[in-house]
Amino acid sequence: MRHYDLVILGAGTGNMLLDEQLAHLSTAIVEPDRFGGTCLNRGCIPSKMFVAAADTAENARSGALLGVHANVESVDWKAIRERVFGRIDPLHDSAVDYRRANGVDVFTESSRFIAPKVLRVGPEEISAETFVISVGSRPAMPSIPGLDTVPYQTSDTVMRTDELPVSMAVIGGGLIAAEFGHVFGAFGTDVTIVQRGPRLLMAEDEQVSERFTELASRRHRVLLQASVTSVEPRAGGVALNVNNPDGNQVVEAEMLLICVGRRPNTDRLDAVAGGLALDEHGHISTDSNYRTSVPGVWAMGDAANHFQLKHMANAESRVVRHNMLHPQDLRTLSNRVAPHAVFTNPQIASVGLTEQEARRRGTEFLVSVRNYSETAYGWALEDTTSFVKVLVNPLDRAILGAHIIGPQAATLIQPLIQAMSLKLTVDQVAREVLYIHPAVTEVVEQALLNVY
């Protein structure tokens, strides 16, 4: 049995853990898939490259609002796909070569714990003083009769499909469904979204969720409060039997895309055999310092938290590295401010409490909503549907939450994230900072100034 100082399970964020501070350790990385993890190969990065192309197509079509008449002559799916994966795919081999050239053993077989801090990797067993588990997550699959009889795609596979489908049925109404609905709809696919809840993007602030549902329904066929009772093959595609308030109906499509959430990969690791405590959703339980129930074993990212955010995993890796090196000076990461964005059309970004969360908790708040259309740059965009929403504590004037739906929302929300992280009041951010006129950032300024 080979023994190491450090074994890292998962080469997504786990691969980022290694730097010169850990170079003195004998180290192994175990990654049965591709270096870079979900974010690089199947998630954040490739999907946003597709979104950039989709945004270009949508901007061309909407140019008439500004007096610019343009058409999208065609969409070259294979060229778009090659631009994305032609850049991404070579990174795996170069990452493996780099680690091996620098003295790190790389195992590419599947692995399972057979005892605490003992791992079977392919045909051999390895152990280590320290383990870091960052094995990520994968698409969750719903229990739908007939699903095993039809072809379907998930977020892991849909970007590599050979042809652009004429029609697509999407099961699910969360952020992955919203992003891929935008991408394929912009490229000309007829999209139908089947959502169990009363709105799309149910996790967002209700006002944002309602607005997005309204706008998405103009672009796609959206079935709400709908459940798929079964699926079956049809010539040229699939048929979904759907029950909703209008009764039973059949949705036919060339391609089926399933987007009902993600699950941690801890079951594939046999975490329980490794002595690791799991929560009710299968995530590895950790304390605030990312220590697990087994001394010397740390966990982070999608395997350990419910955020499913790469920027959160990146921040966790910095904390874990520090804590491994400085066990007498443990750090933690405040999850109080955990922003996210949905790169659909329109873009959405959020941080902190939603209005419905504040009401549910009994938290007192003031609310301010400012429309893009009330700013000069909003006029320039001819924007009539976007807005910024801010929730503020009426006593100490701290920002409790911020929610934006509209162009560049993920960028616009950043000063509000900083204000919340640095504990600045709404008045400091609104009145002690100059906002460029007539930039779109004025809509943030006006929302802050409007908090009474």
Q: Which residues are catalytic?
A: 437
Residue 298 CA to residue 8 CA, distance in Å, equals 10
Residue 23 CA to residue 102 CA, distance in Å, equals 9
Pairing of strands 221-223, 387-392: unpaired
E strand residue ranges, 235-346: 237-244, 247-253, 255-258, 262-264, 297-299, 340-342
Distances in whole angstroms, Cα of residue 452 to Cα of each of 321, 357, 365, 366, 392: 44, 21, 11, 7, 9
- Helices 90-101, 77-88: crossing angle, 10 deg rounding: 0
Residue 149 CA to residue 163 CA, distance in Å, equals 21
Residue 237: how many other CB atoms lie within 10 Å: 18
Q: Which one, of 5, 13, 32, 12, lies nearest residue 104 by Cα?
A: 5
Residue 51 CA to residue 289 CA, distance in Å, equals 36
Q: Which one, of 265, 342, 350, lies nearest residue 302 by Cα?
A: 265
SS3 label, residue 234: strand
In angstroms, how far is CA 184 from the centroid of its own chain? Answer: 18
In angstroms, how far is CA 229 from the centroid of its own chain? Answer: 27
Residue 271 CA to residue 258 CA, distance in Å, equals 27
Contact 255, 168 (CB under 8 A): yes
